[in-house]
Structure 1
Amino acid sequence: MTATAHAPVPHYRLAVADVIKISVWHNKRLSETVPVRPDGRISMPLIGSVLVAGHTASGVARTIKTKLAYYVRDPQVTVIVTHVVQDSYRDRIRVTGAVEHPASLRYEPGMTVLDAILDAGGVNTFAAANDTEIHRVVGHSERVIHVRLGNILSEGRLGTNYRLRPGDIITVPERLL
């Protein structure tokens, strides 16, 4: 079952450009509504910069409470997500390079490399299919996963028909002529 625009998302993790409302009970000066900056952080009085991207609202509240405890006795902190970035861009798979129709595809659970390549119209005649790569961001670094797409397409060998994750970029290079 896929989530609809109105369905609850359990354990939502904050992302860049989301907006959160931070309430510190009995302390209006520390209560504010802030966007998540491009570096995944927010700025707050007294405690400065706090990394929030990738964390839940309740986890961010605990972090802020811990940092504020140095300045405020027993702070009670609530974090509410007030605006969520459009998932339509975050939850995409991009297929680039020597394919018939380079595409940005909506991620679907269980989607594999073969699914994405077929959605992009397959490889073109210039493709170096066995040199295909998945570029995946893991934490703060990029991981490159090698895919033997030629073996998948021509021989049915599915050993590198990996399951995809939202944000993956599949690159099919052109072969040298």
Structure 2
Amino acid sequence: MRALISIVFALFMLAACQSAPIGSSPMEPATAQNPAMIQAGAQPGVADPGSLDDYKLGSGDKLRVIVFEEEGLTGEFQVDGSGLVSMPLIGEIRAAGQTVRQFEVSVADALRGAYLRDPRVSAEVLDFRPYYILGEVNRPGTYPYISGLTVFNAVATAEGFTYRANQRHVYIRRAGENEEQRHPLNSTIQVNPGDTIRIGERIF
């Protein structure tokens, strides 16, 4: 009888393990983990700049400009420190402060009439301008932007916090703004191209 009870109990435990989702124990529902996992992976508030129609170009952005059926006018161009792009025939075109679509229109307008009757222009951002991280990190400096970048990613790239770092708040000056803003330091704070991040010193 005791052997029969042991066999039944073993079969019950085996069935419970097989029905439990991967990553959870039989005693812990999978739904208990899901909210934390979703929250950790979510990065609300700012989308990848590469997918934003209203992303404003700035100095340091690298563009690919295609003028259809005009290979001599097609190429890769850098937005210089003055916010201009120097292109064949038409010279300097302002890019800073414009969206990619607005820049396309500017290039087409400059080409229309004098050079081409009906120019068709397409542009895309190849590389976004860098961001800057200052203050209480081990390697402050300028770093290339990557899509989906968060403040924690930026700190990790700068080899982490110093022992003096205030890990409760971060100061960010967004590109094009004159004043930095203080934010609670958490995993949802995203970095945009051209931003300046400052990690302050904690009060001992």
Give the TM-score normalised by the residue count of structure 2: 0.45
Normalising to structure 1: TM-score of the pair? 0.49
Q: Which has the greater radius of gyration? A: 2
